[in-house]
Amino acid sequence: MTRSAQSPTDESPARDIPVRRLEPFPADRLSLRFAGADPVMSHAVAVLSAMFPNGEDFFVRSVRNYRDQVSDPELRQQVNRFAGQETMHGRIHRDFNNRLQEVGFKSNVVDRSVGIGFNGVLARVLPESVQLAVTAALEHYTATLAEVLMSEPKAQELFGDEVRYLLLWHALEESEHKAVAFEVYQEVVGNELLRRAVMQATTGVFVGGLLIGTVYSAASNLGVRDLPELVRSLARLPRSPFLAPGVLRRILSYNRPDFHPDTFDATELVNRWRADLFGTGGVLAERVRT
Ligand SMILES: [Fe+2]
Ligand SMILES: [Fe+2]
């Protein structure tokens, strides 16, 4: 099912965005090859995880800046729940990142760099409308990657139980709240040219940052004798489900004038993972604090 773009006067549909307070995940043994025994994928996922706590802190503040200007009470409520989910993601990823750091990943350096870049610099120099547009753009990235993970067994099989369920929980909630920042932007800013221009700039910063972080992280841990493995790992990269042509097309769809996050209907996917993770007998059901 597809839906057309909302006009700023449309009301937001009711969305179920539950804030699940989770106990820490059981600690699997982690290694420098925790993602599919693949060095490049492992460093890329570790860098992405290290970006989350400060990055999502920026997301929450950029959306909250506009909360009181949102006229639709349903959307205002969704802003609160979006903030609750993102805050929990930051907390769980911080624990996970500390353990990645112990194994040898450069999580602390990435975490500090994102903190300085986003919360130290961008949050001070960019107008609030641009900060919100940055968040809407990055929420499109997180929702896209999340729904790839939720739908592709090949992506899920890269990880052991702990990391797989941590990422699937995060992915489920990214999908649940994927329209919130976008709809706040549409209602209170609504500048289409700015939205698309900021997406171009944000793509450069995000993809560039992820690449630089991954190269730095890998170079800090791999020696000359690891080169053959590294070459094989790079050769496998184009076959990664996260880099499939459909994923790229979906990222680019953000530039269409009629774009809305719900164009990609993930209702079935969300229902399936809600049941598998948090339904009766779900793998994470007993980890939710009441
Ligand atoms: Fe998140
Ligand atoms: Fe998010």
* Boundaries of every domain in the chain: 35-289
Find the 232 Cα to ligand 2 centroid distance in Å: 33
User: How much of the chain exceeds pLDDT 70, in percent?
Assistant: 96
pLDDT for position 10:
59
Going from the Cα of 59 to the center of ligand 2, the distance in angstroms, rounded, reads 8
What's the gap in Å between 237 CA and the centre of ligand 2?
Answer: 25
Q: What is the pLDDT of residue 29?
A: 78
Please give the mean pLDDT across all residues of the chain.
92
pLDDT surpasses 90 at 6: no
Mean pLDDT over residues 189-218, rounded?
96
- Among candidate residues 94, 84, 82, 87, the one with its CA nearest the CA of residue 25: 94
Any idea which ligand is nearest the CA of 52?
1
Asked whether 39 and 222 are in contact (CB, 8 A), the reply is yes
What are 267-280's pLDDT values in tens digits? 999 999 999 999 99
As a dihedral over the C-alpha atoms of residue 204, residue 140, residue 82, residue 287, rounded to 10 degrees, the angle is -100
Q: How far is CA 199 from the centre of its chain?
A: 15
How far does the centroid of ligand 2 lie from the alpha carbon of residue 29, in Å? 27
User: Residue 179: nearest ligand to its CA?
Assistant: 2
CA distances for 95 relative to 35, 91, 99, 100, angstroms: 18, 7, 7, 9
- Considering only residues 28 and 233, tell me which one the structure prediction assigns the higher pLDDT: 233
Look up residue 65 and give its two tokens: 């800046």
Q: What's the pTM value of the predicted model, to 2 decimals?
A: 0.93
**Alpha carbon of 227 to ligand 2 centroid (Å):** 36
* The pLDDT of residue 3 is above 50: no
d(CA 114, CA 213): 11
CB 169 within 8 A of CB 24: no
Ligand 1 center to 226 CA (angstroms): 33
Q: Measured in angstroms, how far is the CA atom of residue 222 from the centroid of ligand 1?
A: 30
Angle formed at CA 60 by CA 56 and CA 62, multiple of 5 degrees: 110
Across-strand partners of 288? 22
Give the number of the ligand closest to the Cα of residue 49.
Answer: 1
Residue with tokens 């903190």: 115
Ligand nearest to the CA of 62: 2
What separation in Å is there between the alpha carbon of 57 and the centre of ligand 1? 9
Measure 56 CA to ligand 1 centroid, in angstroms: 6
Nearest C-alpha neighbor of 13 from the set 151, 182, 191, 252: 182
Q: Which of 3-17, 171-185, 189-203 has the lowest mean pLDDT?
A: 3-17
Ligand 2 centre from 197 Cα, in Å?
A: 20
Task: Report residue 139: phi and psi, to 5°.
Answer: -70, -30
Worst-scoring range by mean pLDDT, 89-93, 108-112, 216-220?
A: 216-220
Question: What is the per-residue pLDDT for 70?
Answer: 97
